[in-house]
A and B are shown apart, each in its own frame.
Chain A
C-alpha cells in the first residue's frame, strides 16, 4: 500500500490512496474487527485476496452463507460487538437473507459485506447478479450499494455505526467488483455520523421520575425484561439487578432476555409467555404496575392482547420509539437506552422512594401459591430419557464451567429456556423473533471462535440440526470444539405438538422417517459421536462430551412423544394456561377453540 499524499502526523492511515478491497480490510481493522465469517466467490475475490495478505483479521470459512450469518450472530450476541460476514454476489447474498432477517428481529448487530457484479453490468442479468439492496432492504436496518470507491470507507464506517448503535440490527454493504479494484482515498472512521440518524439514548428525566413514583405506589408490581437489556450491555444488566434488589419486585423475562437477571436470584419468576412459567404469566396478568424494559410485547409473550394484564399501569422503556404502543398500549413510555434509564431509576429510587417492601408481602405470598403449582413439572421415567431431565442433567454438569448455550428452534429450545439456569448475560443465543431452525449449530461456531476456551453447547433438535449440519465441517476446520446436544425424538416436536392441539392429531409430515445415524455422521465429519438412550447412562455420556477436545455430536434419544408444557394455547390469555398435570389427551385436543385455530 503506497501512501500517495503525505498525511498529517498521527493520521498515517487517515487519508491514503488504496484500492476498494484494501479499504474493506482497513475499515474492518479500524472498526475493531478480529474475526469475519464468510464464503468466497467471483464478486468478492479482490477482498479475499487482501485477506490472504494480512494476519490481523481471521477469516472463518463456512460451508453455506447462512452458516456465516448465524455464526456472526452468535459471535455478536456473546461478545456485544458487531458480527461480520462476507459473501459473494447472487446466491451468496440471497443465502444471507435468513440470518439478516433473524438479526433484524432479534436486534443483533450484524455487518454483511456482499460482492456485486461490476457497476457496468448491474441490471444486465449478469452471472451471479441479484438486486441485493432490493432484496435485503426490508430485512436490514439499512443497506448501501457503493458505486464510487471514494465513498466506500465512509459507508463502511457508517455501516458499523448504524449496526451497533440505537436498536442494533443488521446492515448490508454491497460492493461491485470494479469498485473493489478501483483506487480511491480512504478516510478513517468519523465521529460525526449522518444527521438524520440520531438514536435517543438518554431518557426523559420527568418521565423516569413519574415511573419511579408509580412503581413506589405499586402493591402488585412486576418487572418484565427483554433482550434489549442484554443488548444495552453488562452495565445495564447490573442496573437491572440493582433495581430488583432495591425494589424487591418480582422479575420475569422474555426468551431473549434470559441471563440479564440470574436464574438463581430470589426474585426470579422464570420466563414468561407461551411456554413460560405459571407464576410469571399469572403475575403478569394480575399485576398493578408493570415495568417493561427492553422488550416489545411480542405475540408469544402477550397471548390474547385484549385480555393482556388488564388491571395494570404499564411503563415501557425502549430505545426504539416504534416499539411503543405497537402491540399493547402503555401508560408511560420512556425512549432511551435501557442501561441509562435503569441507572437513572436506581438513582432516583435510592434518593427518594422509601417504599416499604412489606407492602409487597401479600403479592409475594400469592406468587408463592402460583409457584407451588410447579408448572415445569414432568413425569420422570427410569427407562427413557425425558427431554426435560436431559436439560436438567446438562445444566447440573456444566453450570460451574464457562459455558455458552445456543439452540435451534422448537420444543428443545423451550425446554432449554425452562430448565437451564442462566446466571449471566450473553450466555444464551437463540433465534427468538424469526424462529430459525438451523440457527444454533453455526451460532455455536461463532461463539466458540469468540471464546475459544469456553464450553459451547448447541442444545438442538433432530430436525433443526440437519438444516445447517454442514457447518460441523467448519467447526472441525477451525478447531472449534462445539458440542451439539441433540434431543432426538425423531419428530419435529413442536410441529407435532401443534398438530395434536389444532389438527386432530393428524401428524402430517412431522415425523422424520430417515434420520441419519448421528454417531456415524459425527465420525464422517471428523467429530466425536455419542449416543445415549438410558437415563442411567446420561451423566457419564455428558461428562464424556465435555471432556472430548473436539466437536461432538451427542445423540440423546429422548421420549418421542413428550410435549412442551405449560402452554398458553392460541387465543387464550395469561390466566388460561394449560399446565402439565392438566394436559391430558382430551384437554390437549380441546385446548384451542375454533377461533384460535385460525390464528396460529
Chain B
C-alpha cells in the first residue's frame, strides 16, 4: 500500500499532500506471543502505511520479548500516527523512532545493517570476477562448487544493493535478504 494515495484528512475532503515523505527506522518491543506480528503488519496494511523493510526475532527469551525493526516511509504527520497506532496495540511495550533518536544525538542516522545470501552461478571469467568483487565487498563464500558460489554479505542497505546489482551480469541466480536490523550508536539503550 502506498500512503501517498491514502487520503489523510476527512472523507469529505481529500487534502493535497504538502509535506514530504521521510524514511524512518522504528524499533518496536513486543511480547512474543502468537499473532503479534500479524497485528503489526495488519495495522500497516489496514491503515495504508508503507513497510520498506521488516525484521523480527525474539531478543529477550526470559521476558518473552521480541524486537521488530520496521523501515517505513511517510509524511511527518503519518509517521506520528504510525507510532501512536503501534503503541495502541496491547502487546506492544515501546516504539522507538531510531532515526529521530539518532538526530537528537547529533547523528545522521542509526546503525543499520542487513545480511544477504547471494547465489551466483557461472564459469570462466565471470566466476573469477564474481569472487574478486566479493572480496572487495568483504562478502564471505559460504558455499561453492565448480559452478556456483553462495556469498554472505553484511552491511548497509546501499552496499547490499550495490553488490547484488554488480552480481547480476555475473550470473546472479538467487537472493535472500534479512531486512534491516538497527540500533543507535553510543552507550545508552533504547
Contacts and interface: CB of A to CB of B under 8 A. Distances in A.
Interface string A300-314: 001111100000000
A305 B34 contact: no
Given A138-B42, A325-B77, A325-B80, A600 B11 contact: yes
A320 B88 contact: yes
28 contacts: A137-B38, A137-B39, A137-B42, A142-B90, A145-B34, A162-B90, A194-B91, A196-B31, A196-B90, A196-B92, A299-B12, A302-B9, A302-B12, A305-B9, A322-B84, A322-B87, A322-B88, A324-B84, A325-B77, A325-B81, A327-B9, A327-B10, A329-B77, A570-B12, A596-B12, A599-B11, A599-B12, A599-B14
Interface string A573-600: 0000000000000000000000010011
Interface in A144-183: 145, 162
Contacts of B30: 196
A326 interface: yes
A322 B81 contact: yes
Nearest to B38: A137
Interface string B23-66: 00000001100110011001000100000000000000000000
Interface string B1-30: 000000011111111000000000000001
Interface in A173-205: 194-197
Contacts of A81: none
A194 B31 contact: yes
A324 B14 CA distance: 19
Contacts of B90: 141-142, 162, 194, 196-197
A132 to B, nearest CB: 11
B35 A137 contact: yes
B93 interface: yes
Given A196-B31, A303-B10, 8 more contacts: A137-B42, A145-B35, A195-B93, A302-B10, A304-B12, A305-B9, A305-B15, A571-B12
Interface centre among B12, B30, B31 (most CB of A within 10 A): B12
B11 A134 contact: no
A403 interface: no
Nearest to A304: B13
B85 interface: yes
Contacts of B93: 195-196
Contacts of B84: 321-322, 324, 326
A304 B9 CA distance: 9
Interface string A130-142: 0001100110011
Interface string B88-125: 11111100000000000000000000000000000000
Nearest to A320: B88
Interface string A317-334: 000111011110100000
A137 B38 CA distance: 9
Contacts of A302: 9-10, 12
A122 to B, nearest CB: 12
- Chain A, interface residues (CB within 8 Å), range: 20 to 34
Given A194-B31, A196-B31, A196-B92, A322 B85 contact: yes
Contacts of B8: 327
Nearest to A573: B13
B60 to A, nearest CB: 13
A21 B93 CA distance: 32
A142 B89 CA distance: 8
A303 B92 contact: no
Nearest to B46: A138
A305 B92 contact: no
Contacts of A326: 81, 84
Nearest to A166: B88
B38 A306 contact: no
Nearest to B11: A299
Q: DSSP class of A's interface residues: helix, strand, loop or mixed?
A: loop
B34 A299 contact: no
A329 B81 CA distance: 12
A258 to B, nearest CB: 21
A306 B92 CA distance: 33
Given A162-B90, A322-B88, A299 B10 contact: yes
Contacts of B46: 138
A596 B11 CA distance: 10
Interface string B65-91: 000000000000100110011011111
A64 B87 CA distance: 35
A133 B38 CA distance: 10
Contact of B13 (A298, A303, A322): A303
Interface centre among B11, B42, B88 (most CB of A within 10 A): B88
A571 B93 CA distance: 39
A110 to B, nearest CB: 15
Nearest to B86: A322
Closest 5 CB pairs of A and B: A299-B10, A322-B84, A305-B9, A142-B90, A304-B13
A347 B34 CA distance: 46
A592 B181 CA distance: 50
Nearest to B8: A327
A303 B81 contact: no
A454 B9 CA distance: 41
A304 B11 CA distance: 9
Contacts of B85: 322
A138 B13 CA distance: 25
A133 B39 CA distance: 10
A572 B13 CA distance: 8
Given A137-B35, A138-B42, A299-B9, A306 B15 contact: yes
A259 to B, nearest CB: 25
Contacts of B12: 299, 302-305, 570-572, 596, 599-600
A251 to B, nearest CB: 23
A133 B81 contact: no
B38 A134 contact: yes
A320 B85 CA distance: 9
Nearest to B35: A133
Contacts of A306: 9, 13, 15
A322 B87 CA distance: 8
Interface in A196-237: 196-197
Contacts of A321: 84, 87-88
Contacts of B35: 133, 137, 143, 145
Contacts of A304: 10, 12-13
Contacts of B92: 196
Contacts of A320: 88
Nearest to B65: A196
B13 A599 contact: yes
Nearest to A297: B10
A572 B80 CA distance: 27
Nearest to A570: B12
B85 to A, nearest CB: 5
Contacts of B10: 298-299, 302-305, 327
Interface centre among B9, B34, B87, B91 (most CB of A within 10 A): B9
A141 B81 CA distance: 17
A142 B90 CA distance: 7
A511 to B, nearest CB: 26
Contacts of B13: 303-306, 570-571, 599
